[in-house]
Amino acid sequence: QSEVTNGAQHEEPSKEGMSRRSFLGAGALAGAAGAVAAPMTAAMFAATAKAQAAEIKNSPFVHPGDLDEYYGFWSGGHSGEVRIMGIPSMRELMRIPVFNVDSATGWGLTNESKRIKGESAHLLAGDSHHPHMSMTDGRYNGKYVFINDKANTRVARIRCDVMKTDKMITVPNCQAIHGLRVQKVPYTKYVICNGEFEVPIVNDGKASLEDVSQYRSLFNVIDAENMEVAFQVMVDGNLDNTDADYDGKYFASTCYNSEMGMNLGEMIASERDHVVVFNLARCEAAVKAGKFKTYNGNNVPVLDGTKGSDLTRYIPVPKSPHGMNTSPSGKYFVANGKLSPTVSVIAIDKLDALFADKIKPRDTIVAEPELGLGPLHTAFDNKGNAYTTLFLDSQIAKWNVEDAIRAYKGEKVNYIRQKLDVHYQPGHNHTSAGETRDADGKWLISLCKFSKDRFLPVGPLRPENDQLIDISGDEMKLVHDGPTYAEPHDCMIVHRSKLKPKKLWTRDDPIFAETVEMAKADGVNLEVDNKVIRDGNKVRVYMTSIAPNYGMTEFKVKLGDEVTVVVTNLDQVEDVTHGFCMTNHGVQMEIGPQATSSVTFIADKPGVQWYYCNWFCHALHMEMRGRMLVEA
Ligand code: CUK
Ligand code: CUA
């Protein structure tokens, strides 16, 4: 226990018994003091050239003006956002506000974003963990990225054609959505996610709050297209991470608190917790047959998947497992031990027999390799190797899955291929396309929770460290350190050929369709008109923008009016985004080319109030402004 809580702070001793940092320091010092460079021989030149040539095959260098080969989608942790990275340059390309409020784009302030946030529009914070892209036949299809909000029990969807959040739901009957993945095969019909914190299923404060035996966690199955909860499955124990198979039959989730402990000591008491496997066909049939209950006044079907149910199977694994990862071969679920130095490899082709009660749950385990301290998450290449983060050891363990299976059968084989130091304390890792059939064994990202000495100090709060590792050769090679702001938990890497983002908005985009409808009802043609519509003390101001002008440079309202400003950006030039900011009102937003955005506020200050464009758009950008005249 003390190892777990202190692990984040201590420095790992190297082989020589010094901390890695002091070891590096001593080595560097020796180099500076003693070494005199020997002249390079022809053989040395040749060797260097060869090494360079090998490196160029999988080069992390992306020169100015060159484009990256991959998009990376990074969660932003408790910043609540999602970030788009270029891989291998590790350049941050864009931020997509999701559960947070964003000053630059007006996400959380505009009427369009509030509509998308729906019932949770009043929440200004979030904690995003697991971004995962929709798939067709086990391959990314470039359509959506889904992301969970642990803090407020939400799931959101990002539309990859515009890279904006377009749906958000609050999942009922449970608390803290954690692990999230997508159905891989035949396509992403469902998004699957875990309610982590166990609570009374009717949590209205009337039943006994102390009776822990009545607490439940729910596995959630969400329809990816309409973003409604299709059904939920009640389980024993809590739920942590999850993943799907490549057959469209099973989902699996880890449970770190089968004890139903309410404090640390209780939660880590058992030597074994479990993996719950969900049988999709049986769950869908049970919903169809009406074998469910509903709770808390909503109509989401809740199935009973507790022990003894035919919908689930519980596979005991050692101790407080965390990550759940499916191998791209489709053969194995890998549960990462966290408090056990092992990972548990579950053979997916044995699950039919398990559900037919022909074998025992532990008979599905085909390997349990010992990798090191604190295994959290595992990624895969296309050569049968797995890469597991060791949080306490600050390492990535590369191991061979088939060799681990042979070792489990009693053969004398070393399944460990390499251990690479990372800096420091890695949580998730991810390989290029590694959660799909297209796993290509080129890049590995290690999302390190602590950067310690790797960057210039910036005060008590330090960045994290996202490290890029070349895995194309026999040996893992660390090639880049990238500081990141709190807190990418997870990421995914998709080849750029899978994505075709739009360059301009199209006027029929559903994100602002309701605003277009409102204009129609007011008799306003958004692409032409600049008009003020008064409706009692509500005033709707419709204006266009073309760099460097708003279609309206002044409008009049009365003190106390509720003002809605609707801006339609008529620019057809790529990259010409305008803004609208009403000074002293906390109002600002982005209006992309050919988009419409709107924001509503109270005109609570009398007199002359300037508005201006806050996205740099033109040499006369400063002049792109106008006055709201507020009569007292
Ligand atoms: S979790 Cu953060 S390190 Cu939310 Cu996927 Cu494992
Ligand atoms: Cu329009 Cu700046």
- With CA atoms as reference, report the closest residue to 192 among 142, 258, 140, 148: 148
- Ligand 1 pocket test: which of 193, 241, 391 has the largest number of ligand atoms within 8 Å of its C-beta? 241
Q: How far apart are CA 414 and CA 399, in angstroms?
A: 9
546 CA to middle of ligand 2, Å?
8
Which residue, by CA, sits nearest to atom 1 of ligand 2? Answer: 578
Question: Residue 59's pLDDT is what?
Answer: 87
481 CA to middle of ligand 1, Å?
20
Task: From the CA of 577, give the closest atom in ligand 2.
Answer: 1
551 CA to middle of ligand 2, Å?
12
Residue linked to tokens 């124990």: 237
Low-confidence spans in the chain with pLDDT less than 70: 1-57
Q: Tell me the backbone φ, ψ of residue 351, rounded to 5 degrees.
A: -75, -30
- Tell me the HSE value of 602 on the side-chain side, using a 13 A CA sphere: 4
Question: Residue 57's pLDDT is what?
Answer: 67
- Ligand 1 pocket test: which of 99, 132, 322 has the largest number of ligand atoms within 8 Å of its C-beta? 322
Which residue, by CA, sits nearest to atom 2 of ligand 1? Answer: 489
Ligand 2: residues with CB < 6 A are 547-548, 578, 613, 615-617, 621, 624
Question: Residue 11's pLDDT is what?
Answer: 40
Cβ-contact 426, 396 below 8 angstroms: yes
- Between the alpha carbon of residue 421 and those of residues 59, 85, 510, the distances in Å are 20, 23, 47
427 CA to middle of ligand 1, Å?
6
Helix (H, G, I), strand (E, B) or coil at 515: helix
Question: Residue 60's pLDDT is what?
Answer: 86
Question: Residue 207's pLDDT is what?
Answer: 82
Which residue, by CA, sits nearest to atom 3 of ligand 1? Answer: 427
618 CA to middle of ligand 2, Å?
6
218 CA to middle of ligand 1, Å?
18
Question: Residue 52's pLDDT is what?
Answer: 54
Which amino acid, 121?
Answer: A
Helix (H, G, I), strand (E, B) or coil at 28: helix
Ligand nearest to the CA of 324: 1
Ligand nearest to the CA of 78: 1
335 CA to middle of ligand 1, Å?
13
Cβ of residue 489 lying under 6 Å from some atom of ligand 1: yes
376 CA to middle of ligand 1, Å?
8
**Chain segment 21-31, per-residue pLDDT in tens:** 333 333 333 33
Q: How far apart are CA 128 and CA 121, in angstroms?
A: 16
Q: How far apart are CA 244 and CA 330, in angstroms?
A: 9
